[in-house]
Structure 1
Amino acid sequence: MKVVSGTSNIALTKQIAQQLSVENIVAECSLFNNGEQRVWLNTKLAGETIVFVQSLSNPVDNHIMQLLLMVDAAEREGAKQIFLVIPWLGYSLQDKVFRPGEAIAAKVVADLLSRPNIKRIFLVDLHSASIPAFFSVPTTHLSVLDLFVEYARQNFVQTNCVVVSPDFGGIKRAQQFATALQIPFANIDKRRDVVDGEVTAVAIHGEVKNKICLTYDDSIVSGGTAIETTQLLMQEGASQVNLFATHAIFAQGSALILKESGVNSIVTTNSVVQKEHDERIKIIDIAPMLAKTILQFV
């Protein structure tokens, strides 16, 4: 077995390979003068089990194309088995038609990646549980819930905590978090403008005054929801607000979110590379979880 990465998350790929005690290969990726991607896998592929690891993070389209080219190269060289590990699935937030005339981008990406020679695709905490059905190859949808539960138990006094869902769509996820921790649950009603994506908080259901609030979401993208949620909870008397999110995209940078929200901490994973480091951002390693799951199918 060989674990191969593109350019999106080389560190996570290396950690997965170390967990599996197998060779780690970094694909040679470059651009032609006309902007086209060029990929070279400088390793023996024939007869090998190849595990590609690629987060479809910014620049999203480049990372998608890199992954497609790597898969094609492995197929042409006669790889025995091909697995894809996609810690963050770009375009996954576009999982439905919000306005007539829009595409379901998550389905388009799933179709591109559903190559007949791919044995299985591993995905992590998707925005919607319906997305795996978009793929026409087998998928395994992993959750970091247990890792977050362990972190929360070790770092917060649970007798004064409450789990908060930042919106209606995340209620089930947050309820599972609260149940595992055996602490109360609250949720926030919000409205999102379908044109510009702006989020407006409407009301909080549940007691948050003088509580340590643990919000739980699948991702922080622009940070608008994180900022608004934190500010609202603080206005309602929360003693602390700590954000749990599997994928920290931070499209506008983490510094802006930390400054404008006043959040106490952001607990996330290494599904996406973090270029900025702040002591309030706590990163949980998902490599052991991914490696353990890969071994179940190889």
Structure 2
Amino acid sequence: MELTVFSGTANRALGENLARTLGRPLGRCHLERFPDGELYVEVQEDVRGRNVCLIQPTAPPVGEHLMELLLMADACWRAGAARLMAVVPYFGYARQDRRGKPGEALGGKLVVDLLERGRFERLVAVHLHTPALEGCFGMPLEHLDASHLLAEAARPHAGDGAVVVSPDLGAVKLAERYARQLGLPLAIVHKRRMSGSEVSVRGLVGEVRGLRPIIVDDMISTAGTIAATAETVLKEGCAEDITVVATHALLVGPAVERLSQVPIRRLISTDSVPQQRTLPFEHSVVGLAPLLADAICRVTSERR
């Protein structure tokens, strides 16, 4: 069955790269915003009886991009698409996978429910903030891991005298994968989150003195965690040659300012969300198009 690829506006460059990697033109889709803020979507391709892949990370503004994805899906379904697949490289609301207080909403589950209402048969995501969110999905989920690609991008900075640093207990398994692939020791920072943008560090397990830290995490939002981790390893006497590796570099709010105040030498991330063009440190970007294309080809070939 033929495949048509459409991209939303959240990360058009990645959508174009994905279509190119799949060897297909990017489908034409008109998106317009009315003066009152409503979004208008018109699919300008014949999708009747076709597999349709919609790529749209739910990057900030999350609600706007989520609604755009749902409207695109509805337009394709009403135009006769046989199957719909959502490719969401960055999945917003993934941090709201459980309730800590009785009055809190379960945002992650709600977003999954909305996507299922969009008639998607399958969703492709890259490095959800927590594997626990997978239990919220009633549809098949292709949960991709880009850490092996990022680790190879970090390898030139991972020779003798380097150490992988986990910024909190939640990232330990991820850091272990990096440490194992790169053949490096591991150090772990124990933190306590004070708010959505503020953290407090409690201690450090492992040795970093005189070593070059490679701080790894799944995402950087306001960079409170990364900045606090960098300050901690500096106090412990690490070398002032810090590499930060993250799958999703959102860099919102005070993130860039925070990172510029500690000696971050370089950032390595994927292109899951649009990247800022100017940063006060070196920034290497690993493209996700080949990883996404491989997953899409495997899934669509299974259906034949």
TM-score tier after normalising by the smaller chain length: over 0.9
Give the match's secondary structure for 1:35: coil
Larger deviation: 4-13 or 108-117?
Answer: 108-117
* 1:118 Cα deviation from its structure 2 partner: 2.0
2:152 alignment counterpart: 150
Q: The residue matched to 2:234 in structure 1 has which SS?
A: helix
Tell me the TM-score normalised to structure 1 length. Answer: 0.95
| Contact 2:70-2:118 within 8 A present in 1 as well | no
SS at 1:118 equivalent:
coil
In structure 2, what is the Cα distance between the partners aligned to 1:224 and 1:291?
Answer: 33
| 1:62 match | 64
**Counterparts of 1:249 and 1:73, CA distance in 2:** 29
Q: Aligned pair in 2 of structure 1 residues 53, 196: CA closer, same or farther (>3 Å)?
A: closer
> Given that residues 234 and 241 in structure 1 are in contact (C-alpha distance below 8 angstroms), is that contact kept between their aligned partners in structure 2?
no
What's the offset of the Cα at 1:254? 5.1
**Which secondary structure does the structure 1 equivalent of 2:219 belong to?**
strand
**Structure 1's 113 and 5: CA in aligned 2 closer, same or farther, altered over 3 A?**
same
Report the count of equivalent residues: 296
Instruction: Give 1:39's aligned residue.
Output: 41
Matched-pair contact (CA < 8 Å) for 2:197–2:224: no
Structure 2 partner of 1:8: 10
Out of 99, 109, 112, the residue aligned to residue 110 of structure 1 is 112
Counterpart of 2:263? 262
1: CA distance, partners of 2:111 / 2:101:
19
Percentage identity across paired residues of the two chains = 33
Query: Which whole-Å CA distance do the structure 2 matches of 1:249 and 1:39 have between them?
Result: 26
Closer, same or farther in 2 for the Cα pair 1:123/1:196, shift >3 Å?
closer
Encode CA deviations 1:240-283: one digit per residue, 9 max, x unaligned: 21111100011126531331222111110100001333351111
Q: How does 1:1-298 map to 2 (within 5 A)?
A: 1-115=3-117, 117-153=119-155, 155-193=156-194, 197-239=197-239, 240-252=241-253, 255-278=256-279, 280-298=282-300
Q: What is the letter of the counterpart of residue 225 of structure 2?
A: T
120-129 or 93-102, which deviates more: 93-102
How far did 1:5 drift? 0.7
* Matches of 1:6 and 1:117, distance apart in 2: 17
Q: CA deviation at 1:26?
A: 4.9
Structure 1 segments unaligned to the other structure (5+ residues): none
State the Cα deviation string for residues 174-199 of structure 1 (Å, max 9, x = none).
11111111110110001112x55520
Deviation at 1:27, TM superposition (A): 2.6
Cα RMSD after superposing both structures: 1.5
Paired with 2:32 and 2:258, the residues of 1 have a C-alpha distance of 33
Deviations 1:210-259 (A, max 9, x none): 11111111100011111111111112111121111100011126531331
What residue identity is the alignment partner of 1:174? Answer: A
- Structure 1: how far apart are the matches of 2:276 and 2:205? 36
AA in 2 matched with 1:139: L
C-alpha distance in structure 2 between counterparts of 1:135 and 1:167, whole Å: 26
Query: After superposition, what is the alpha-carbon deviation per residue over 1:111-131, rounded to whole angstroms, capped at 9, x for unaligned?
Result: 100147422100101110011
In the alignment, structure 2 segments of 5+ residues that lack a partner are none
Measure the CA separation in 1 of the matches of 2:209 and 2:102: 42
The alignment's TM-score, normalised by the length of structure 2, stands at 0.93
Q: Deviations over 1:46-68 (max 9, x none)?
A: 11211100010111111000000
